[in-house]
Amino acid sequence: METILIEVENSVQSEEIKSALKALNVKFVTSKGDSNSIKIAESLSKGHMEMLQVKSGKLKARDARDLTDEL
C-alpha cells in the first residue's frame, strides 16, 4: 500500500483528480486545509521507509522502550 498526498489549488483541480481516481477504482480520502494531514502523511512515509530499512538489515529495529529512553 502507498499513500499519496495531493495538494490542489482550486476546486476544479480537486474535482478532476477525484474523477480520475474514481475512474481508476482507487480508494481515497479528502480533507480541506488540514496541515495535520500533511504531518501524518510525512510520519507514515518515514515509518514505512524505516520499516524497509529494518527488513533489509540497514537499520536495527527499535521498540517503544528505545523511544522513551531517548527522552
Question: What single letter denotes the amino acid at residue 63?
Answer: D
pLDDT band at 23 (very low <50, low <70, confident <90, very high): very high
Interatomic CA distance for residues 54 and 35, integer angstroms: 29
Is the pTM here over 0.85, yes or no? no
Distance CA 44, CA 53 (A): 14
pLDDT digits (tens, 9 = 90+) for 25-65: 998 888 776 677 778 878 888 888 888 898 898 888 777 67
Question: pLDDT tens digits for 4-20?
Answer: 878 888 999 999 999 99
Distances in whole angstroms, Cα of residue 59 to Cα of each of 1, 43, 44, 56? 21, 17, 17, 8
Q: What are the residue ranges spanned by the domains of the chain?
A: 11-70
